Amino acid sequence: MKNRLRFLSVFAGCFTLFLIGMAFAVRADEKDDLEKQRSDELKRVEAMLKAQIDALIAQEADPNDAKSIYELGVRYLKEEKGPLVGWDLFQRAAEMGYADAQYALGMEYLEHIQEILPRAAAKAEGAKWLEKAAEQGHVGAQLALAKCYATGKGVKRDEAKAFEIYRKAADAGSAEAMYELRDFYNLGRGGVKVDRARAAELLRKSAENGYVEAQRSLGLDCQHGYNTPIDLPEAVKWYTLAAAQGDSSSKAYLEQLKDVIPLLEPAEKGDAETQYKLAHYIADHDEIGTISGHSSSDAIRKWLLKAAENGHPAAQLELAESYAYFENGNWWIAGVNDFAEAAKWYRKAADQGDPMAQGMLGWLYATGRGVDKDLKTAVEWFRKAAEQGNAEAQFGMGLSIRDSWLEPYREDRDWKTVLDWYIKAADSGMKHELPELENKRDYTGLQCKIAYMYRNRYKVKHIRFDESEPVDQYPAEAVKWFRKAAEAGDDEGHFELVRLAAEQDSEAAREALRQLAENGDGYARSVVKEHGWDKPEQAGMERKEASPDGE
């Protein structure tokens, strides 16, 4: 220790003398003399430094062993007792051909020595020593040198050269090089042909070899569906491995997924309920999947399929809706319009008693979508679903009677029963007549349809109602259902109420419009105000005065 301290003191004195000599040279008057003095001073300082370092090596290392000289330099740098001495020791070991020393010296030039030497010169010197180490197969040097070529640090930028050096490091087993190569294949850098499959393969290999950046990236890919299907169990697996290495971002991603993590193991083990919940978790959370939604759609369908195959009726129904993508299909699953597949899953859910599945299976049989058209079977499924309150099936029951599906056409068919089924469907929440499983919007609202049937009671002679019912109830019923349509936002309901009020002098229609206005309906408010229908007493008096029989 005393000898080391003595050496450092001598070294510090020599270096101080060197600086004094430099200052003296700057102040000299005669240029030639100054140059000679400075040169002599530098030589003397260099000789003193070399002698002292030679003595240090002889005392603490093997002068003929580059490794021991390099390790002595590492110790000096690590203990921060002599960076200049450490650099000199690296230089000596590097010149003896020791790859670790060449790599260390190159990195020192790139990261530290450039603070003393001109920056460009230091970078170029660093790249030179990295090249020497890389040629000997030093993986660390290859990685650093490839980065130099990729960024133009100390060398002319050359992405093709960077790719080749990364490839050599990857072939030697470097997980970091595999990760860097992935970017070249993904983006087609360095003249490399874009190859997403190769990029994904390299990313996985890098992650499997423990590179934390790759583990986090693979987790993100699996969570969002980048270049791979969404796979939340895989995402959690890779985040967990990266977090175990201290990666703070992966810890944050795990926290983001904390609610779904408990679902993953039972879902993978085949629990239908958790598989169904997992599908809905993906559907309900924007942090799962890409902006386009296609990857999310595939993941939702995947877990719904698993749950459906395990007998979950709600999953079977939703899976069917994803294949029969019409009015009541799930918006969050991309529709594929495979009605045969839809019929398969509707039947499975229908056999378990699901009323929606029963009703929709009835419509498939009624229209021949995905199955052979069979009106009798359609009505059988309608009846089962209608008894459980399914609106679409209740409408289907009415339609089957109206159009005489199960019997020859008769003008005197039971229109009252048709109307009763339509009313049940409307009361169950159905707003529109089904568009026969097509994406049409030009069909009549169900409430208006019911109103027309009441209103036309006296114009269509084959409509047979119970003759014991009071005749004047039907116009009132028509007004009631037009009002319901208007409340549901159907413009046709508004129009018909106004027509009844204005053209047929219906006080019931005017009262319906007043009530709509009082409930905040802007259109009704403007019509009532325009026609003066907002004052029923005054309107009644005006009509009385206008009547020739009025008193």
Q: Are 486 and 509 in contact (CB under 8 A)?
A: no
User: Which helix (H) or strand (E) element contains residue 269?
Assistant: none
Structure tokens at 336: 């594929």
Angstrom distance (rounded) from CA 170 to CA 546:
100
Provide φ and ψ at 445, rounded to 5°. -65, 145
Q: Cα torsion at 211, 215, 220, 222 (round to 10°)?
A: 130
Q: Give me the sign of the Cα torsion angle 216, 220, 221, 223.
A: positive
- Which pLDDT tens digits describe the chain residue by residue (551 residues)? 434 434 444 444 444 444 444 444 444 455 666 667 767 766 776 677 777 777 888 788 888 899 999 998 888 887 765 677 888 889 999 999 999 999 999 999 988 876 667 788 889 999 999 999 999 999 999 999 999 999 999 999 999 999 999 999 999 999 999 999 999 999 999 999 999 999 999 999 999 999 999 999 999 999 988 878 889 999 999 999 999 999 999 999 999 999 999 999 999 999 999 999 999 998 888 777 654 445 677 888 899 999 999 999 999 999 998 887 544 444 344 456 788 999 999 999 999 999 999 999 999 999 898 999 999 999 999 999 999 999 999 999 998 998 888 888 776 667 888 889 999 999 988 877 655 444 333 446 889 888 988 887 644 444 455 555 555 667 888 999 999 999 988 889 999 999 999 888 889 999 999 999 999 999 999 999 998 897 655 444 444 444 444 33
Segments of 6-61 assigned E as strands: none
pTM assigned to the model: 0.67
Structure tokens at 7: 């050496």
DSSP assignment letter at 461:
T
Residue type, 312: H
- Inter-helix orientation angle 139-151/175-187, to 10°: 30
